[in-house]
A and B are shown apart, each in its own frame.
Chain A
């Protein structure tokens, strides 16, 4: 059944091409089409509809790959026929003639509606023939030849790729980043085959498209297909459901494994039962006392964990860089135990470190992505490398990650965002975001005349540090607390916010209160721009801030009552969740400024609680 099915899907795109192209197209031998024309089996696919939904790709892909491999010839047909024939040699023609013709004749009736899109019926035939000729050679070709297809296409594929940022493409890009250069060779084969199938599927909806565009479209789809991982990997990719702390069994298990002993909060707030609620403050001393017992944790990692716990390091980028550098240290000191392979042993070691860090403070999404990157680069280490070589390669990988994904990304963000600042602007920012700070300082260096409104919020009052730095550079600032945001919003012309993460449904996850600021800005029709590095993107989705969050320390809430001014001195580590309304998002994504005009939800760091 399957082989039958595959040709069908392949055929449709061709029909489309002919329909549009036949009149002008015949001279162009590359356009491959008509034979398929008659064949297209399903009536509905014939009507000019729209660009195929990408989901076909994935499903078809998974189904077809295993089959395609054994029957290289079969699947290759479609690929060849579909693609512009740079590699087509008009010489060999063999079995194919029979195949396309017979179905065409047989199904003439069913494809009747097709003709409407064609300029003339007679023409159809001619084109069909021509294309037949074109097509035949491809049929002959075997799977091996096919492999070239995606590669050759690449240049054409590049452009459409950028234009159309479907989820698949974003995936592809992410994938490419993650896999770095350590892509497995074998995969190339598979994916290229898959690409063919994919592109065939792509064509299903029959919509007249100009030839050139179609070409590029095909190429794009191919590229897409090529970068796509097989289904199994995809599944693995789907984020695990988060640990729910109201699930007693799992909590027990987790406790057994844990390094850090945490006292559970006495008054657990019912609403946050699914989140870990611990007594803060007990962990630090506990950890310190365990310093000599924790031989499984590298001292550098241990130190970073402690600093997370104490709140010395906060902010997505800072935490991520600190973690990666600690891992670098630990890799430097690493030596493979006898009778173990570096790849496996190191991965388990890193896993141990990560779970230790999680106990200190839940990972941010940026850290999660960085860890994922590190693990893939370990997994893709060539087996023949010596230990030292492997270590240096890993260390340089980490360095590259830090410089490219974080530092360079920030520079690019600043470069783009600074063009959004005009003279006389009043910019509002909330909390303290490293990207926004760099942006403001850069704009000031460029000599732009603007004022900054820093909105802050208890209990962390991070804005004060930012305020100090900005005033130190001579930028004129206004400082206020989040309650007064609607008072200051009148004069504001732009809002710049940082983000902890951007989730795949467009939700922005950021410091608690960001949503409020964005909402008020929306009310006053002030554009909101979010500065977020692409490595913080995540495919998880979240509808509100309760479902996943990090709770801060209750005690900080109460300080205000007794000694309001003391609050400023006590920094807490916090991370919460928020919904936000944005008009635009500024981010680094293939150096594109992507503006989203719709509603995004923002989630940020911490909800503070009190329960008497």
Chain B
């Protein structure tokens, strides 16, 4: 236990000092931390899911508070919470299913003995999914054959729940933790391979002789472009020299991989956009309304793209989906960096002086990190689950997060 707490504290400090950069790295570290936290968490015998959720929420709250702007932390915490709920529910329903199955076998109902267990198992799964997720195309299609069976199992489950829990309490305890950790492992896998899945779709979107503009440096974007290159599609890329020159690094890497690359300044976006076929960018976070928190300067690019009717495509792993709706995101979900990136302190030190005590200084330097791109400027999101419209984001979010976790705060605390 102390081991985990020290780990958590270390991570919190790192987040506070902004030592971890990039939503993907943060997400991965967070989920790994949570995994070790869960594995070491001792659970009470009764109502263990709730206890686990409470514990994770406590840690999550700390992590989120450490860097509220890094939305990936919150996303991952919510995902883990959702996993715990889902596992708990599926365990419960499985137990119920098993119980009802046992009861039926006792009754020696021979008639539909062969297919009923199968039916009830799938029905239970469907019911569980239904309870967690709002209807989607997938659930709709899965549901059709079993719609009749679902109510039956749920009605029968009610009376026997208490018995099943007391019956194999120990096995369930171990099972829940085991299942959760397995699911979290899957989540880690998903986060670390999301760019591969996104890159697979590159061929559908990039064609021969296309000119593509991107901004900042994103691994997802790079993989995406390289995947298209491997499929023998030749195209040119414009890269932006962002204020921190991430664009240069990306350009270097792309050029090393044999992609024809042209670097332009941020200011010349508007000139070049008329010759560009598509804007493909990475995101820092995707909000529930389909808005994008992205590297600074992207709003300008999106506006220019809209003026020239150039498709604006955002690549985002599912871990970047944030279930919150933005309010004044330019200010509230932003960070200001040191002015030294823009101005030389030595040169302007006399103007930047706060200590003179003569009131407010004459010179302010603004160096924000993020930009907010409203959903109406985005043409398409490409996530590991495929392409989506900005207006579809809330639905995806409903798939991945449970509504109870939107505010990560312990009930006792509030």
How many Å from the CB of B348 to the closest CB on chain A? 8
Chain B binder among A156-164, A381-389, A555-563? A555-563
Give the distance in Å from the alpha carbon of A316 to the alpha carbon of B268 in the complex.
19
| Contacting pair B245 A564 (CB below 8 A) | yes
Q: What string of 1s and 0s marks CB contacts (under 8 Å) between A513-544 and chain B?
A: 10110011001000000000000000000001
How many Å from the CB of B240 to the closest CB on chain A? 9
| Contacting pair B241 A557 (CB below 8 A) | yes
| Contacting pair B270 A579 (CB below 8 A) | yes
How many Å from the CB of A269 to the closest CB on chain B? 6
- A568 at the binding interface (Cβ < 8 Å): yes
| Contacting pair B307 A519 (CB below 8 A) | yes
Using known A-B contacts A269-B262, A512-B265, determine if residue A520 contacts B364 with beta carbons closer than 8 Å.
no
Residues of the B chain whose Cβ atoms lie less than 8 Å from the Cβ of A480: 342, 365-367
| Contacting pair B270 A484 (CB below 8 A) | no
- B20 at the binding interface (Cβ < 8 Å): no
CB neighbors of B among A464-519 (8 A) = 464, 467-468, 471, 474-488, 490, 512-513, 515-516, 519
B interface size (C-beta, 8 A): 51
- A340 at the binding interface (Cβ < 8 Å): no
How many Å from the CB of A562 to the closest CB on chain B? 9
How many Å from the CB of B306 to the closest CB on chain A? 9
Residues of the B chain whose Cβ atoms lie less than 8 Å from the Cβ of A486: 299-300, 303, 330, 371
- B248 at the binding interface (Cβ < 8 Å): yes
Give the distance in Å from the alpha carbon of A471 to the alpha carbon of B267 in the complex.
24
- B263 at the binding interface (Cβ < 8 Å): yes
Residues of the A chain whose Cβ atoms lie less than 8 Å from the Cβ of B339: 479
- A611 at the binding interface (Cβ < 8 Å): yes
| Contacting pair A485 B275 (CB below 8 A) | no
Using known A-B contacts A464-B343, A519-B307, A561-B245, determine if residue A478 contacts B266 with beta carbons closer than 8 Å.
no
Residues of the B chain whose Cβ atoms lie less than 8 Å from the Cβ of A457: 265-267
CB neighbors of A among B41-96 (8 A) = none
Give the distance in Å from the alpha carbon of A471 to the alpha carbon of B365 in the complex.
13
CB neighbors of A among B328-364 (8 A) = 330, 334, 339, 341-344, 347-348, 351, 360, 362-364
Give the distance in Å from the alpha carbon of A486 to the alpha carbon of B268 in the complex.
16
- A578 at the binding interface (Cβ < 8 Å): yes
| Contacting pair B300 A516 (CB below 8 A) | yes
| Contacting pair A560 B270 (CB below 8 A) | no
Chain B binder among A72-80, A209-217, A601-609? A601-609
Q: Find the residue from B241, B252, B274, B348 having the highest chain A CB count within 10 A.
A: B241
Closest to A270 in B: B236
Give the distance in Å from the alpha carbon of A607 to the alpha carbon of B269 in the complex.
9
Q: Tell me how many residue pairs across A and B have CB atoms closer than 8 Å.
A: 174
Give the distance in Å from the alpha carbon of A579 to the alpha carbon of B300 in the complex.
13
A interface size (C-beta, 8 A): 57
How many Å from the CB of B245 to the closest CB on chain A? 5
- A459 at the binding interface (Cβ < 8 Å): yes
Give the distance in Å from the alpha carbon of A458 to the alpha carbon of B342 in the complex.
10
Give the distance in Å from the alpha carbon of A485 to the alpha carbon of B270 in the complex.
14
- A545 at the binding interface (Cβ < 8 Å): yes
- A610 at the binding interface (Cβ < 8 Å): yes
| Contacting pair B255 A474 (CB below 8 A) | no
- B135 at the binding interface (Cβ < 8 Å): no
Residues of the B chain whose Cβ atoms lie less than 8 Å from the Cβ of A201: none
How many Å from the CB of A8 to the closest CB on chain B? 48
Give the distance in Å from the alpha carbon of A545 to the alpha carbon of B237 in the complex.
19
Using known A-B contacts A479-B365, A519-B300, A549-B271, determine if residue A459 contacts B343 with beta carbons closer than 8 Å.
no
Residues of the A chain whose Cβ atoms lie less than 8 Å from the Cβ of B341: 564
Residues of the B chain whose Cβ atoms lie less than 8 Å from the Cβ of A520: 299-300, 303
| Contacting pair A471 B351 (CB below 8 A) | yes
Give the distance in Å from the alpha carbon of A612 to the alpha carbon of B250 in the complex.
13
| Contacting pair A610 B297 (CB below 8 A) | no
Residues of the A chain whose Cβ atoms lie less than 8 Å from the Cβ of B347: 464, 568
Residues of the A chain whose Cβ atoms lie less than 8 Å from the Cβ of B297: 482-484
Interface residues in chain A, defined as those with a beta carbon under 8 Å from any beta carbon in chain B: 269, 271, 456-459, 464, 467-468, 471, 474-488, 490, 512-513, 515-516, 519-520, 523, 544-546, 549, 557-558, 560-561, 564-565, 568, 576-581, 606-612
Closest 4 A/B residue pairs (Cβ): A513-B267, A483-B297, A610-B263, A545-B271
12 interchain pairs, CB-CB under 8 A: A467-B348, A467-B363, A474-B362, A478-B364, A480-B366, A483-B266, A520-B303, A560-B241, A561-B245, A581-B307, A608-B268, A612-B260
Q: List 6 extra interface pairs beyond A480-B367, A520-B300, A610-B264, CB under 8 A.
A: A477-B362, A483-B242, A576-B267, A608-B268, A610-B263, A612-B260
